[in-house]
Every structure is written in C-alpha cells, then in structure tokens.
Chain A
C-alpha cells in the first residue's frame, strides 16, 4: 500500500477581488480572508492522482493555529484523505522555514501510525510572497530524496521507484525538461503547471467516486483530525518557533522610489499638440529609424 503525505498551508486569498489593500497600497492582512493556498491545492491534486491511480492512502498535515483546520478540511475535499493532522502549539509561533521544517519532519513521521510515508508532496511556494524553502528543508531533515519543479510523475510499484518530469527555467535561458527516476521514498515539490490527467474510463469513475467520498468525509472532517502539540511530536522547544529560528524579521519599510535617469513627461492624451510628436516618435521606432 502506497502511503502519501501532503503538507499544506492556510494562506491569505490573493486571488482577484479578494485581496484587501490599505490606503498606502500595502496588503491589509486582517481584512483578507484565508483559504487553502493555491499551491497547496495543486500538491493535493498530485496526491489525489496517487489515490486514483495507485490506490494510495493520503494523510494531510499543516502547522498552524487552530483555524488552520479549515485548510485541512478543504484539502480533504480535494483528496478524500483518510487522515488530517494539525500541528499546533503556541511554541511554534514565529517560526522561520528551518523551524517550520523541524515541526513538519516530526509531523510526517507520525502519519499513519508511524508507517513510512512513500511520497510527500508540498506546494511550490506559499502565495506569491513566500519562500519556497519549507518543502526542500523538510525533505532534507527527513532524509528523503528531494525532487523540485515536478510537472508530472508516475510510480512503478513493482520497482518501488517514481519516474518524474521536472521543468527547469533559468533566467534568459531555454527551458529544460528533465525526466528522472528515483527510488522511494521521495519528497516532491509540485510545479504550478502540474495537472492530473485521468486517461481511462475506470480512472475517471474512480476519481468521481473518491471526489464524492471526499466531500462527504469533509463534512465530518473532525472525525479524521488529529491534533499534535510539541510534546506529542517529541520536539525540543529550543528547536521550534522563535527560539529555533536562525532568522528574524528586523524591519519592514516602504520601498523608496528608485532614482532613475529618465525625465518623465506626463501627457494628456486628449491634447493633440502633445500627442502628435509622440506618435511620430513611435512610428520612427517601428520603422527602425
């Protein structure tokens, strides 16, 4: 039996129309509502693919305050997970990625009664502002082989390997698509462009069945929920939260306007006198003069 874990995060909803800004253009965090992060949702889809195709069991974990439950519930709708785990403790507050990874490592270790997890999925990065470091750091602490930027994968259960496609895009360079093979267990950070495809009728039927089941389960998600504090996770309080974080946020400020050497001319488009020299200039450039 294939055991799959997913680590997800409750995040501010940055999608159009849902973000609330302060008058100075900064994000109003209090007014912006929280949802299952979009990249976490993609990681959930990848786990669901394992369920449909390889009959995997799915366990979802998140580190966060009690309200992060709602993200677990949303993740269960997407995955029909048999287990939800909330890692929650006041001691975890203020963690940087290294201290977060410490918690998630032990959390993943407790999934499915400490049965070894074969594949863990994480999102590429939390909503646009975040780091993308949590996944690989958790992987490293777990001692799992880390595969980043994965856009597609399949599992060979007989040989106990995963075959994955990765997309690597470096600034100004052509795009690389790599096909790789790795023995399980692996930790996969799923690329935003990942889409699960169910080719056969039986896969589609199974997907529908599990989707219905997931929705139903999520209505009573607390039955599936386990809550862990630092003691239950056997964590050293010195290695989590603020005390366990090498980094601190020192200050937050508005980015001053960069000085540029452009002399800006502001044009009123309804005034033909200012517009026509500009049009002439544009035409010059178009004609390569």
Chain B
C-alpha cells in the first residue's frame, strides 16, 4: 500500500471535519447573537487554516506518492473506503481553500445582514466539502464531497444573492448536475471494470481499452468542463458569479472552478492517457477559444462582477491549455495558475464586494474617480489588476509564461494565440480600472470611506501571496515537480493518434 502519514494524526480528516463540526456547533448558537456567530465562524475558519499548515511544512517534496494518507473501511459490502491523501498536485489547493475561507468570513462581516447563522454554516460546510474533494482517494467519497459542496453553494447563491439569484442558482445547478451525472456513470463503469473498487489510485494505473477510454474521457469531461468552465459550457459562470454574494463569488472563483481543472489532472489524464493524448488538439483548441473569447467579451461588459467572471473564463482557458500541453512547463504552469487565479480573482471579487458594500452598485458607470476618494483601496485593486494581467514580479506572470511556453512547445499555434489573450487582458483590465478609479469623481462615490482595518486584513494575505509567488515561485513549484513528472510518465504510455476538433465534429 502506498501509505504515508508522517504526522501521526489524521490531519486531512481534521482539516475536512473541523469546519463541518464547527458548522454543527454553530447550530446551537442563538440566532440573535450575531457577533458570536461571526466570531465563531472566524474562529473555525482560522483554526482550520492553522490545522492545515503542517501540510505546507511537512510535505515531502521528493515523492509522488500520496501523503498524510488515511484509510478506513466504510461500506465493505460495496468495497467503499474512507480514504484520503494528498500529493503535489492537490496539497496546495487544500491550503488555498483554508485561506480563502477566512477571507470569505471577513468580507461578509457586515455585508450579510439576513439569516446570518445559516450563511456562516453554509460557508463552513462548503469549506469542509471542497477540501474533501481535493483529498478523497475513493471515488464514492469523492463524489459525495463533489456533490455535497453544491448544496450549500446553491443555497448561498439562491438565498443571499442579487436580484436574479434564483435564475442564476438554478442555472448553476442544472449545468453542474448534467455534468456530474455523466461523471457518475463513468465512475460506476470504472467501478465494475476495475473489479468492484472505488480506489482511485488502483483505478488510475489500470490500462483501459482505447474505445472505453474515449467514452469515459468525455463522460468525465462533461463534469469537469462545466466546472472549469470551458467554452462553450461557460455561460452559467457569469450569472452565478454576478448574482452570488461576495463570499460566494470568491469561493466560486477561488476554489470551486479549480475542481474542474483538478479533475482533469487527477482523473482524465492518468486514467485515460490514450484518450487524453488523442484529444489534446481538441482541448487546446477549446482552451485557446476560451482565452480569446473570454477576454474579448470582457470588453463589452458593463457590470463589474460580470466582467471579472468572464475574465475567469479567459484565465481558466490558460489553465486547461497548460494541462493539455502535457509537458512539465505547461502542467506546472497550469497548476500554479490555478492557485494564482484563485488568489487574484478571489481578491478581485473581495475588492468588488468591499466597494459594493458602500455603493450597492455593480455598474461600472456608477463609478469613476474612486482612486481620489479611496486611495488605499485603489492601491490594493491596482495590485490585483496588475497580477491579473500577468505583470512580471507578480504571480500571474509565472503561471502564464510557463503555460505559454508549454503550450508553444506542444503546439506552436496554441502558444501564439494564447499570448494574444495577454494583450486583450491588459486592455479590458486597464480600461476597467480607468473607468472605476481614474477620471473625475462620480458623485455616487463622493464621500465614501476608505478600507478599514478588517478589509485590509482580508486583502493583505492576497497581496503577500501575489508577490511571493511572483518573486520566488519555487516555494510553490517545488511541491509539484515530482508529482507532475510522475503524471507525465504515466501519460507517455499513451500512443493514440491525435484528433482535431474538426475531425471530432465532422467525423472525418
């Protein structure tokens, strides 16, 4: 058995279940005691973060094997196990999740005014579930976490969202459900083919026949592509992001949409190496379309959150491009860019939430001259804007550059076209910044107060990470090297011929 847990205590379980237990305990708090609700949510989120830190410090970067592994029988009749572990691909997402949740609690402090208790309970439940997704090594357990996370998320959008929250929540639900169900079929097929096991590690090293790989690739693709979201199944994202409360947008952007890309890395690539290789041109085409399409459409947005949501489509296009470049640079860039995007887009949504609390408007036209009125806020937003457009010295650059390098090495056209996304990216982000922060002060923002200490504390970790990754990315890249190399070794057994989008669509 590949079992390693050097810590001697079940760290992953505690990181998953501390927030869930916290949520349950919060049920006991009186609804009227709002400050206790907020402080306990903050306490549990910080506690979880602290508990997750040994993953960072005690991670063994020299092995591709799963670490901090826990393994218990659960439902022996169906050979279902409670099995957890992280490797170089997943470990950073656990840490990102625990960090992002704290910022979500902080940013909601004064903006959530109704059903406080339920809100923070939902938030903590989401945290537990999403960490579970990144740690699960049993398909059954994985699927439970995968779907469990949707319920509180759905509620979060549907209850505390904007005016069109119901539409957005249902759309989010429908999209994800369709994708997930197809994946479930795939999981069940694997279960029977693999001799009735849900063990992800065992299933990942089996060699499936090519035709089966193809079908399963697409079944899993349905779930992951919706989550990423890839073109053309991205239209739930702008609605969900726009209508969700700030914390919801941050979790969506920061963690939830990473799960699609994580799914490609953890399942599609190692399980179906032949099919993945064959589909490389298709995936790269879709990625490049997402990069350019998502960027161009940002130029037509009039809503702050919608613009940032669409920019996610573009940025996640980079991620999937890096993943399907299937070389070390592309994959490492892709994984790093997932983290980067979580930090930067998360921070952008946090920032929008901060100003929204003051103006209650998401319309770009309602702003102008904010830099004059809220200079400190403007400085934070500038850092996030620059990180988003990939300025060297900040995190976005490292990720994007590695991805374009990997993409170019794999397919020249993909690298070249992806690079155009960086031009458009600068255009829409700087134009956004100009319209909101520069020029004459809009009367609607006159007299607003600058960020307070709580808000600074919310944003500061993001700024630190942006520069940390930008100046010394090796801290984070070094987690990935061995695991990514292992993944590539696995992929290299694939020999199937490549298939292009045109061939696929027209059965040529």
Q: Do A and B bind each other?
A: no
A contacts, CB < 8 Å to B = none
